[in-house]
Amino acid sequence: MATYTERASDLLSKAEKALRDLVSEAAMSGDYSSVVRIAEWAQTIRELLHGKQALQVRSHRTAKAKPTAGKSHVSRKQGEYPRFFRNDNELIRVAWSKRAKRQYRHKAAYSVVEAVARAMHEKGAEGRVFSTDVFLPVRDREAEDIPNYQVYVAIALLKHAGLIDQHGRQGYSIRQPHDFRNAVEAVWKNLPRQ
């Protein structure tokens, strides 16, 4: 007989899978605000399952995170990051530097997000795990190399939105490969504007 903890873990796994399926359905129906909200819930469950202390439960009304009660080695300031915004066709990632003890920003055009999504989709079809080595450098439509830091800004957004999973040093996998491109567009459309 399974322990209570094992049964609870199984329930959470099933809930995460059901939420991932809902993300795909919402993307296909064009309900982009639900895509973002449900993906965040799925990510929170995933963090619980993998032993990470859930740092935040995001409200769909605010981009700011609220730290959980209890002791944590992560400061309140760090727990509020990263944050993602868009300004016209530009992705903005705001993160926290532990060393400098201040926030910093990275920017990348939406065309970079599209190019990274295309490259990842090509290598991650059918749920394969792939490393960045197999698709770097990413090239734009004019066949120019995109700076790697911009590629990683796009990857951070896709991870944050729950569209891809990181498997340590092995690389990444796409949660729902068949709906990936639509989900990326949905996440983009629902980023808060800055």
- Give the number of other Cβ atoms within 10 Å of residue 99's Cβ: 5
Task: Evaluate if residue 141 carries a pLDDT over 60.
Answer: yes
pLDDT of residue 45: 84
CB 116 within 8 A of CB 154: yes
d(CA 30, CA 132): 30
53 falls within a domain = yes
Question: Average pLDDT of the chain?
Answer: 82
> From CA 64, how far away is CA 148, in angstroms rounded?
27
Above 50 in pLDDT, residue 67?
no
pLDDT surpasses 50 at 155 = yes
Tell me: pLDDT of 70 over 50: no
- Record the tokens describing residue 162, joined without a space: 């729950």
Tally the domains of the chain: 1
Model confidence band, residue 48 (pLDDT cutoffs 50, 70, 90): confident
Identify the pLDDT of residue 176. Answer: 86
Whether the pLDDT of residue 72 is over 70: the answer is no
Within a domain: residue 141? yes
| Domain span including residue 140 | 4-189
pLDDT of residue 54: 38
pLDDT band at 49 (very low <50, low <70, confident <90, very high): confident
Higher pLDDT, 179 or 108: 108
Decide if 165 is inside a domain.
Answer: yes
pLDDT of 103: 92
> What is the mean predicted confidence (pLDDT) over 116-134?
92
Angle between helices 180-189 and 148-160 (to 10 degrees): 90
Q: Distance (Å, rounded) from C-alpha 172 to C-alpha 163?
A: 10
Asked if pLDDT for residue 34 goes beyond 50, the answer is yes
Per-residue pLDDT, averaged over 154-158, amounts to: 95
**Separation between Cα atoms, residue 122 and residue 136, nearest integer Å:** 12
Predicted TM-score (pTM) of this structure: 0.64
Secondary structure E strands in the chain:
83-87, 90-97, 102-109, 164-166, 172-174
Confidence of residue 77 (pLDDT cuts 50, 70, 90): low
The Cα 123–Cα 117 span in angstroms is: 10
Separation CA 65–CA 43 (nearest Å): 14
Say if 194 falls within a structural domain.
no
Query: What's the pLDDT at 2?
Result: 82
Question: Average of pLDDT values for 1-8?
Answer: 85
